[in-house]
Amino acid sequence: MKYTFSDRMKDLSANAIREIFKLISQPDIISFAGGLPSTQALPLEQVKEIADAVLSSDKAVRILQYGATEGYKPFLEAGLKYIERAGIYNQNLENILAISGGQQAIDLMCKALLNKGDKVLVEEPTYLAVLHILKTYEACPIGVKSEDDGIDLEDLEKKIMEHKPKMLYLVPTFSNPTGKTITVEKRKKIAEICQKHRLVLLEDDPYCELRYEGERVPSIKSFDKDGWVVYTISFSKTISPGLRTALAVGDKEIIRKMTLGKQATDVHTSLLSQAIVNEYLRRGYMDPQLEKSTAIYKEKKDCMLEKMDEYFPPCVKYTRPEGGLFIWVVLPKYMDARKLFLQAVEKKVAFVDGSSFYPKGDIFNTLRLNFSNATLEQIDTGIKRLAEVIKNNIKEPKN
């Protein structure tokens, strides 16, 4: 090797989805791999209108300057009002930080809390980026069992006692990758468990607004009595991922440490992006846009589930999420989704194999499907092709 890299980078592999994008860049491949919002759901005209207004105002030069690491004050104030939708009240500017996309919250929390070798609990499977980031900080992710309604609380307490973790990470609403949602009852108990064991929880909630059926549930943070939960919400899935704008909310001591870490990372989140999101919220554009986008996504989700019911063999199981962007598929144990992926790409359809979402990467019979960025016709064709690949790998029972 020509260069001597740091220990933390030597064994770090690439993000699986980013690598898949290189492989499936051909225009004729139907991709269910990424988590991209539909182009139909991106509010182009509203963002153009707001950007023009912001850059035409007497504050335009200020918006193009450097800003405070904590964030653009009008945006933070709008954010404090916005998080009331998740049941989070009585927070102030000391409790909130503007961040460059929700994923930055994970990075800054790791930077603030973790030393080499520290243990972090994650629901199994979990968002693959958290595993990537934990490896960067030389921390050790520990998987906690999952049930139909989210994380297994008995196993959670067992793992807390056994591993003495520094942090817990959860995507409780329409989880990436499974689409599961943790029940209200479990959310209350998780908050109690964190307080009991003095365990910091990062509650990552980027999909909560993308609900297509059922009743909204309050955040785990809303049950947090003593500051053990840090809540983060992104505007990537509701407005635009290109704006790279999100919020982290928590105890002022943790937020202060995250702020110091951010100063060494990117100085501050784009003021222009913050100003655009601020105006978007204040002009009341969010709810009408959500009504439009959730109708688009519900139709796609229903179509994908309908085609899976029609084409997939009975041996394949999958979730039926009430919202979010993903469906989780469990194949027979003898099947390897990594091999199926290569066969699927030959048939011009792609997905993400599930092994990347497990701390040990040792579960091979699962995969994640995204429905948001494909047309209804592509969903029909793509699911039919994928079903053929699966059927070709079914082992006949021995007599």
Tokens of 236: 């990537």
Here the CATH number for the domain that contains residue 365 is 3.90.1150.10
Same domain, 200 and 231: yes
Backbone dihedral angles phi then psi of residue 154, each to the nearest 5 degrees: -65, -45
Same domain, 222 and 193: yes
Same domain, 214 and 323: no
Same domain, 175 and 278: yes
Name the domain boundary from 282, 303, 331: 282
pLDDT at 171: 98
Q: With H, G, I as helix, E, B as strand and everything else as coil, classify residue 124.
A: coil
Same domain, 304 and 266: no
Is residue 347 included in any domain, yes or no? yes
Cis before 125 (ω within 30): yes
pLDDT at 387: 98
Domain count, the chain: 2
Same domain, 237 and 364: no
Query: Which pLDDT tens digits describe the chain residue by residue (399 residues)?
Result: 677 777 777 666 665 555 566 655 677 899 999 888 999 999 999 999 999 999 998 889 999 999 999 999 999 999 999 999 999 999 999 999 999 999 999 999 999 999 999 999 999 999 999 999 999 999 999 999 999 999 999 999 999 999 999 999 999 999 999 999 999 999 999 999 999 999 999 999 999 999 999 999 999 999 999 999 999 999 999 999 999 999 999 999 999 999 999 999 999 999 999 999 999 999 999 999 999 999 999 999 999 999 999 999 999 999 999 999 999 999 999 999 999 999 999 999 999 999 999 999 999 999 999 999 999 999 999 999 999 999 999 987 654
For residue 99, give its domain range: 65-282
pLDDT at 11: 67
Name the domain boundary from 224, 255, 282: 282
Is residue 335 included in any domain, yes or no? yes
DSSP 8-state symbol, 208? T
Is residue 373 included in any domain, yes or no? yes
Is residue 52 included in any domain, yes or no? no
Residue (of 171, 235, 175, 158) closest to 201 by Cα position: 171
Is residue 399 included in any domain, yes or no? no
Name the domain boundary from 218, 248, 282: 282
Same domain, 161 and 31: no
